[in-house]
A and B are shown apart, each in its own frame.
Chain A
Amino acid sequence: DTAVSQTPKYLVTQMGNDKSIKCEQNLGHDTMYWYKQDSKKFLKIMFSYNNKELIINETVPNRFSPKSPDKAHLNLHINSLELGDSAVYFCASSHWAGKGTDTQYFGPGTRLTVL
């Protein structure tokens, strides 16, 4: 199946732990994103990578570190997890369009719960 996939789908962990979420796309896109959807359902951009280079880095704590080993993968590592990190994290990908007109395709989301 051509798609954006994320693992795991659910992640429950204790405060203070370090965890990673993986994302892969086989759509041939050169740009990938991480979004956070909070309890009020607002989606906010966290990071964007184009051809493995960081192009958007919103005001995100440095406990969050994205890693792009190649154009098809963008993983998110989170250190010292806090209660406020509980949310649904979405990965997305698109072709790079400078004016932002290209469709972004979203993964199914990873629901992170920090206890």
Chain B
Amino acid sequence: KNQVEQSPQSLIILEGKNCTLQCNYTVSPFSNLRWYKQDTGRGPVSLTIMTFSENTKSNGRYTATLDADTKQSSLHITASQLSDSASYICVVSADNAGNMLTFGGGTRLMVKP
């Protein structure tokens, strides 16, 4: 069964600090991995998409890494801002599933001043 697990479930950091969120998956055969940001009361917004051949991708202060051998990904947030407070969702697509995505439960990040 395809699964995506994220850790930690929630995280509180001070503004300006860095943090790293983790994602482990068992989706097979792997096609691509995405990180989404979901603000409270809003729909998810895509941050990065990585295919099998990519092991890192950046979007501003967000940097995602992918290790397809260990089936792990991380999202690193640099110099956090209050607006980074949101849920971060790891999403994996299987190679035989068209556009069907398996979502992780998300990490709820709170950035405090």
Contacts and interface: CB of A to CB of B under 8 A. Distances in A.
Interface of A: 4, 31, 33, 40-45, 48, 55-56, 90, 92, 94, 96-109
A42 B42 contact: no
B31 A100 contact: yes
A112 to B, nearest CB: 14
**Interface residues of B, dominant DSSP:** strand
Given A33-B99, A109-B42, 15 more contacts: A4-B43, A41-B87, A43-B89, A48-B98, A55-B98, A90-B43, A94-B99, A99-B31, A100-B97, A101-B51, A103-B46, A104-B46, A107-B43, A108-B42, A109-B43
Task: Bin chain B's interface residue count.
Answer: 20 to 34
B25 interface: no
Contacts, number: 65
A45 B98 contact: no
B60 interface: no
A70 B1 CA distance: 34
A43 B44 contact: yes
Nearest 7 A-B pairs (CB), nearest first? A106-B43, A100-B93, A43-B103, A100-B99, A103-B46, A106-B44, A99-B31
